[in-house]
Amino acid sequence: MIRLFKVKEKQSKEAENANGRGFKKQSAGQLRVHKDISELNLPKSCSISFPNGKDDLMTFEISMKPDEGYYQGGKFLFTFNVSAIYPHEAPKVKCKTKVYHPNIDLEGNVCLNILREDWKPVLNINTIVYGLSHLFTEPNHEDPLNQDAATVLRDNPKTFEANVKIAMSGGRVGGTHFTRCT
């Protein structure tokens, strides 16, 4: 049996030398991300890009342009960092666009249950994208990261809508300046 492994190892090394380069073994997480991305069914308001090139599928960006709701007309960029033990651990997702939102804080942390306690290995990148998209059509004031935005949304939706428009146009809400994202 040991001899068989040595023969296979020798064949592998010979193939590497013949090609002039070795092959890189992919982790289970890389294989799963490749599958998830190849099966990705993005809404028409979303696009994906790979800032480190197509060879690095573990880091990518999703751009969202909501076509309805409070955030209609804005453009929001999310970074995804996927660990080698994916899908047993949810990807780390950050919003790179500063946004006035009850479920996204000013540092870009995202409050989405499937990225935390409700993550299960059967979920995938597509599920996360649709969850993020849902946050823009239905912001949730009951599980906030930005308490001020959540309070305004709960108590005065018209003021919340006005604050979102001000923030998206590059204005100031409270003491915070937002960069234009429309």
pLDDT along the chain (182 residues), means of 10: 51 49 73 95 94 94 96 98 96 98 98 95 97 96 96 98 98 96 94
Domain at 50, CATH number: 3.10.110.10
- Structural domain contains residue 13: no
- Structural domain contains residue 55: yes
Q: Residue 20's pLDDT is what? A: 47
Q: Residue 1's pLDDT is what? A: 46
Is the model's pTM score more than 0.75? yes
Q: Residue 72's pLDDT is what? A: 97
- Structural domain contains residue 162: yes
- Structural domain contains residue 77: yes
Q: Residue 167's pLDDT is what? A: 98
Q: Residue 47's pLDDT is what? A: 97
**Residue 99 structural domain:** 26-177
- Structural domain contains residue 4: no
- Structural domain contains residue 14: no
Structure tokens at 53: 């090139």
**How many structural domains is the chain composed of?**
1
Q: Residue 15's pLDDT is what? A: 46
- Structural domain contains residue 48: yes
Catalytically annotated residues:
111
- Structural domain contains residue 76: yes
Q: Residue 14's pLDDT is what? A: 52
Three-state SS sequence of the chain: CHHHHHHHHHHHHHHHHHHCCCCCCCCHHHHHHHHHHHCCCCCCCEEEECCCCCCCCCEEEEEECCCCCCCCCCCEEEEEECCCCCCCCCCEEEECCCCCECCECCCCEECCHHHCCCCCCCCCHHHHHHHHHHHHHCCCCCCCCCHHHHHHHHHCHHHHHHHHHHHHCCCEECCEECCCCC
Distance CA 162, CA 153 (A): 11
Q: pLDDT (tens digit, 9 = 90+) per residue, 31-74?
A: 999 999 999 999 999 999 999 998 899 999 999 999 999 999 99
